[in-house]
Amino acid sequence: MVKAIIFDLDNTLMDFMRLKKASCEEAISAMVDSGLRMDKDKALKILFDMYEVYGIEDKEIFQKFLKKTAGRIDYRILANGIVAYRRVKNSYLAPYPGVTSTLLKLKQQGIKLAIVSDAPRLRAWTRLAALRLTDYFDAVVTFDDTKKYKPHPAPFRKALSKLKVKPRETVVVGDWPARDMEGAKKLGMKSCFAKYGAVRRFEHVNSDYIIENIRELLDIVDNEDD
């Protein structure tokens, strides 16, 4: 019987990479228009290569980008890039279709809900607030709560403790098999691969369930209860 569902946040409840790409494209365009002497496509590639090195949540990625490409931080260029990034980011902050209604139905069935995210605490909560989803979750565990990234068991253990449920009563839903699925299995939880949010193609996914739409979670809960 399913008593709790633990969700990843980015690319599971919202299309984070679509938001990231659109925001960065606008930021680069604004920086070039403000005096950055660089081809936009080349600059965008360098920026995302740097995200691979420093992490997608790096707070000073544009400063590092300007140091790397221009040799110094021009604050006029930096400011225009940041403002453009934030403007577009806010316009893309929306849940995937079906997320809100599915969470509501799960809550009505008495299912406990949680978030386990590698994002810093404030960013995770800010995104949830922008998505208007803060009231649906009984627990939110972020990187700041355990200082461990998934698939380390610590974030999942923290969520289980907050929810007061056993691993076998819990399903973990996420878009990244090596982090979400493996993290769930280490503790004996069931796993559900959110294929709709995956940013790359995975040849093999070791997961109990694979869903193309978040609404399919309702069927999984019903089947587990039979």
Structure tokens at 4: 């709790």
Architecture of domain 17-92: Orthogonal Bundle (1.10)
- 4-15+95-225 folds as Rossmann fold (3.40.50)
Dihedral over Cα of 141, 147, 149, 150: its sign: negative
Using CB atoms within 10 Å of the CB of residue 171, give its burial: 0 to 12 exposed, 13 to 18 middle, 19+ buried.
buried
112: closest CA among 168, 159, 163? 163
pLDDT at 225 exceeding the cut of 80: no
pLDDT at 90: 85
End-to-end, the C-alpha distance of the chain in Å comes to 8
C-alpha 163/C-alpha 103 separation (Å) is 16
Q: Where are the domains of the chain?
A: 4-15+95-225, 17-92
How much is the average pLDDT of 86-90? 91
The torsion angles phi and psi of 3, rounded to 5 degrees, stand at -110, -15
Q: Establish whether the linkage from the previous residue to 151 is cis, with ω within 30° of 0.
A: yes
28-50 per-position pLDDT tens digit: 999 999 999 999 999 999 999 99
69: closest CA among 36, 116, 97? 36
Helix 61-70 and helix 16-33, axial crossing angle in degrees, nearest 10 = 40
Fold equal for 4-15+95-225 and 17-92: no
pLDDT at 25: 97
C-alpha 221/C-alpha 226 separation (Å) is 9
153-211 per-position pLDDT tens digit: 999 999 999 999 999 999 999 999 989 999 899 999 999 999 999 877 777 788 999 99
C-alpha 44/C-alpha 47 separation (Å) is 5
Instruction: Please give the share of the chain, as a percent, with pLDDT higher than 70.
Output: 99
How much is the average pLDDT of 56-69? 94
Confidence bin at 226 (pLDDT 50/70/90): low
pLDDT at 99 exceeding the cut of 80: yes
